[in-house]
Amino acid sequence: MTKQTLSFQAEVAQLLHLVTHSLYSNKEIFLRELISNASDACDKLRYEAINDSGLYEDAPNLEVRVSFDPAAKTLTISDNGIGMSAQEAIDHLGTIAKSGTKDFVSKLSGDQKADSQLIGQFGVGFYSGFIVADKITVESRRAGMKASEGVRWISGGAGDFEVETIERPARGTSVILHLRDDAMDYASAWKLKSIINKYSDHISLPILMEKEEWKDGELINPSDEKGGRQPGGMLKTGEWETVNKGNAIWARAKKDITPEQYTEFYKQISHDFEAPLAYTHNRVEGSTEYTQLLYLPSKAPMDLFNREKSAGVKLYVKRVFIMDDAEALLPTYLRFVKGVVDSADLPLNVSRELLQESRDVKAIREGCTKRVLGMLEDLAKHDKLPAPSADGGTDTTAGVSDVLSEEDKANEGKYSKFYAEFGAVLKEGLGEDYANKDRLAKLLRFASSTTDTVSVSFADYKARMKEGQEAIYYITADTPAAAKNSPQLEVFKKKGIEVLLMTDRVDEWALNYLQDFDGTPLQSVAKGAVDLGKLQDEAEKKAAEEAAETFKPLLAKLKEALKDKAEDVRVTTRLVDSPACLVVQDHGMSTQLARMLKQAGQAAPDVKPVLEVNAEHPLVKKLDGSVHFNDLAHILFDQALLAEGGMPADPAAYVKRVNALLV
């Protein structure tokens, strides 16, 4: 291939600009990223060589080498891993082949601090080299290809890059950074070693640097003892030494690992800038033996809700890397968990298909799931949030101990932070993981009609239930405002009954799999006829029955006028201030869920709701005998639809009717 110039994918160009401008204060992470990529390339060769040992060629020992040349102003990170072909160099270095990229780029604001946090969620990888370099040269050859099929890739990090074929005897990849003048301190052995020890000490293969030794200064003119002296300095010896510990962190005893080392290993495998929220490290022995090191991130990735994206932990077998994103090791609803599982029982040539069928993998999956849920339960136990008071305000003392333990202090607020990022995904587990459904239910948190914070658990709600209350009441809606101001809540507010507000898109689907909590049934306030049981006195029940009888003729007329829209029309006791509301029958699909399915392009039945009217409302009383009966009936229905976040089937007709009545 002759030299050719190609353009970067648009997202890459935007990312490069952001990398060079927003990450300037944390420049040293570029070395972590490039060494991590080199390590991954060696892991991939080791895995492919399980079935084709010829890929090792004449270099079976995998390694990463870091070298520098102050005179040439270059820093080089080399590996003898899998390498790249010319086309792979174009594909991997010129485009971002990662789901969620367009969504990522669309969120860039130009605010360097905010955008820098976004990069932390996205991962910068190879492009981080441009933090310190004004030009990057990549030379590579894929294992198994001819020496004449090497490739050289060059870019200045602007809009394009050059690619050409070269002769390269050694397999693997060399990334050559042409350092900017303000980054020349990275052409220093001491500086590079300190960064490697900080970020990459846990890489499981050797990271080599050339040894240096001090050489004393010499006379510039040895024949003249009064002549000037050449200053002494560090000179390379030509020998290479390993500068990292080189043993897998998960294989070491927990007592030998510092919290900082756990954090840096997380950053290495996740490409995240922030520390993890929590982690668990365990060796499991028994019929299936494995080691797990699992992390909870602090921030959700932007493609969290893309269930099709590859996700999961890294799988090793006897410390040999097998695959990234081994999704069989954790259920889909825990796809945000990062980490490593190292099995002593699985075969080295295990494939994704074998993973799905293996009994050992099933045991590992169950063990990892229980360990993650245990981590979450521990965080939740120590989360000390103010509880809602009876008057709907915040009681700053309820549920908060005067003296917090050290563990409480370390974990205070962590579960709330986790839930804000990942709570909606956790709810998917109600439908996916029947065995752990009850554990998951205890971990869920909601806002309620008495508090705005998403902090109320089912257990909290049960502890505050009124005497005689027989159900946990909840409402689903598109937004917190729509839920809190829903007409369906009016009688509950009047009687001081707390209602849980559920506004995540997954809520209604998830609650189909949870009919009760600890023996107490869950009841949607927007499904079925309202029945407050012992909380409704006999006088109220009698008045409701009389109203239903008195309004029978009017209800029949309304039902006829709205026969194309409403399944039924009935008098209700759930309304206090509003004239009408929409509900569905028990166990029926809500209008909200039907709307959501249609918006997602999925098939959904046409839901005909029930119109409930408030017999005491002036507008309802005015209906009887009105010459505008039909128009009022349709306005009543459409306003009830609007109140729950829906949209009239014919908005123009609704506006026309309202305008006619106003005139």
% residues pLDDT > 90 (the chain): 39
Residue-level pLDDT at 600? 61
368: CATH: 3.30.230.80
Q: How far apart are CA 169 and CA 119, in angstroms?
A: 36
Q: Where are the alpha helices (DSSP H) in 464-551?
A: 480-484, 490-494, 507-511, 538-550
**Residue 468: inside a domain, yes or no?**
no
Asked if residue 447 lies in contact with residue 501, where contact means CB atoms within 8 angstroms, the answer is: yes
Residue 263 burial by CB count (10 A; 0-12/13-18/19+): exposed, middle or buried?
middle
Give the count of domains, the chain: 3
Residues 212 and 293 in one domain: no
Average pLDDT of span 452-476 = 90
pLDDT tops 90 at residue 369? yes
The 3-class secondary structure across 127-173, one letter per residue, is: HHHHHCEEEEEEEEECCCCCHHHEEEEEECCCCEEEEEEECCCCCEE
Q: Tell me the pTM.
A: 0.68
Q: SS3 of 257, please?
A: coil
Instruction: Read off the pLDDT of residues 421-450 as tens digits, 9 standing for 90 and up.
Output: 999 999 999 999 999 999 999 999 999 998
Residues 198 and 313 in one domain: no
- Mean pLDDT estimate for the chain: 82
pLDDT tops 90 at residue 402? no
Residue-level pLDDT at 106? 57
Q: Name the pLDDT band for 24 (thresholds 50, 70, 90).
A: low
34: CATH: 3.30.565.10
Looking up tokens 């897998």 gives 248
Residues 238 and 300 in one domain: no
Q: Is the dihedral of CA 574, 578, 579, 580 positive or negative?
A: negative
DSSP string, 584-611: B-TTPPPHHHHHHHHHTT-------PEE
Strand pairing class (338-343; 313-317): parallel
571: CATH: 1.20.120.790
Residue-level pLDDT at 112? 47
Please say which residue of 354, 382, 410 terminates a domain. 382
Please choose, from the candidates 185, 209, 208, the residue with its C-alpha nearest in 3D space to the C-alpha of residue 30: 185
Please say which residue of 355, 382, 409 terminates a domain. 382
Average pLDDT of span 304-330 = 77
pLDDT tops 60 at residue 387? no
Q: Name the pLDDT band for 301 (thresholds 50, 70, 90).
A: confident
Residues 290 and 238 in one domain: no
Of 222 and 434, which is predicted with more confidence?
Answer: 434
Residues 17 and 137 in one domain: yes
Residue 98 burial by CB count (10 A; 0-12/13-18/19+): exposed, middle or buried?
middle
Asked if residue 161 lies in contact with residue 92, where contact means CB atoms within 8 angstroms, the answer is: no
Residues 119 and 58 in one domain: yes
> CA 313 → CA 331, 338, 375, 500, distances in Å?
11, 5, 16, 34
The region that residue 660 occupies, defined by phi over 0 for left and psi between -120 and 50 for alpha, beta otherwise, is alpha
Q: How far apart are CA 644 and CA 43, in angstroms?
A: 54
Q: Name the pLDDT band for 7 (thresholds 50, 70, 90).
A: confident
Q: Name the pLDDT band for 488 (thresholds 50, 70, 90).
A: confident
pLDDT tops 90 at residue 217? no
**Residue 227: inside a domain, yes or no?**
no
**Residue 348: inside a domain, yes or no?**
yes
pLDDT tops 70 at residue 65? yes
Q: What length does the chain have? A: 663
Q: How far apart are CA 162 and CA 107, in angstroms?
A: 29
Instruction: Read off the pLDDT of residues 125-174 as tens digits, 9 standing for 90 and up.
Output: 788 888 899 999 999 999 999 999 999 999 988 878 999 999 999 999 99
Residue-level pLDDT at 276? 94
Q: How far apart are CA 64 and CA 77, in angstroms?
A: 7
Residue-level pLDDT at 384? 62
Asked if residue 251 lies in contact with residue 319, where contact means CB atoms within 8 angstroms, the answer is: yes
Instruction: Read off the pLDDT of residues 596-653 as tens digits, 9 standing for 90 and up.
Output: 666 666 666 677 888 988 888 988 888 887 888 999 999 999 999 888 878 888 999 9
Identify the domain containing residue 199 by its residue range: 4-217+233-242
pLDDT tops 90 at residue 72? yes
Instruction: Read off the pLDDT of residues 113-136 as tens digits, 9 standing for 90 and up.
Output: 454 444 444 445 788 888 899 999
DSSP assigned state of 393: S
pLDDT tops 70 at residue 378? yes
Q: How far apart are CA 526 and CA 476, in angstroms?
A: 8
Residue-level pLDDT at 401? 40
Residue-level pLDDT at 147? 95
Q: How far apart are CA 622 and CA 628, in angstroms?
A: 10
Residues 268 and 199 in one domain: no
Q: SS3 of 91, please?
A: helix
Q: SS3 of 417, please?
A: helix
Q: Among 148-162, 340-354, 379-393, 465-479, which stretch is predicted with the lowest mean pLDDT?
A: 379-393
Residue-level pLDDT at 247? 74
Helices 10-22 and 112-122 sit at what angle, rounded to 10 degrees? 120
Other beta carbons within 10 Å of 300: 17
Q: Tell me the two tokens of residue 341.
A: 């599982």
Q: Name the pLDDT band for 21 (thresholds 50, 70, 90).
A: low
Residue-level pLDDT at 468? 83
Q: In what order do the strands lie in the sheet containing 313-317? A: 278-284, 290-296, 338-343, 313-317, 320-326
Average pLDDT of span 367-396 = 72
Residue-level pLDDT at 359? 87
Residues 73 and 185 in one domain: yes
**Residue 521: inside a domain, yes or no?**
no
Q: Tell me the two tokens of residue 98.
A: 């990662």
For the chain, the first-to-last Cα distance in angstroms comes to 78
Of 607 and 67, which is predicted with more confidence?
Answer: 67
Residues 550 and 658 in one domain: yes
User: In sequence order, what are the beta bridge partners of 21?
Assistant: none
Give the largest CA-CA distance in the chain.
125
Residues 238 and 257 in one domain: no
- The set of residues, in sequence order, having a beta carbon less than 8 Å from that of 234 and lying 6+ positions away, is 189, 212, 213, 214, 215
Residues 186 and 298 in one domain: no
Residue-level pLDDT at 226? 57
**Residue 430: inside a domain, yes or no?**
no
**Residue 360: inside a domain, yes or no?**
yes
pLDDT tops 90 at residue 79? yes
Q: Name the pLDDT band for 349 (thresholds 50, 70, 90).
A: low
Please say which residue of 324, 358, 382 terminates a domain. 382
Q: How far apart are CA 512 and CA 506, in angstroms?
A: 10
Average pLDDT of span 294-302 = 89
**Residue 418: inside a domain, yes or no?**
no
Q: How far apart are CA 532 and CA 541, in angstroms?
A: 10
Residue-level pLDDT at 479? 85
pLDDT tops 90 at residue 102? no
DSSP string, 471-493: SEEEEE-SSHHHHHT-GGGHHHH
Residue-level pLDDT at 339? 93
Q: How far apart are CA 470 and CA 24, in angstroms?
A: 59
**Residue 497: inside a domain, yes or no?**
no
Residues 20 and 153 in one domain: yes
Residue-level pLDDT at 400? 38
Q: How far apart are CA 232 and CA 122, in angstroms?
A: 45
Asked if residue 383 lies in contact with residue 415, where contact means CB atoms within 8 angstroms, the answer is: yes
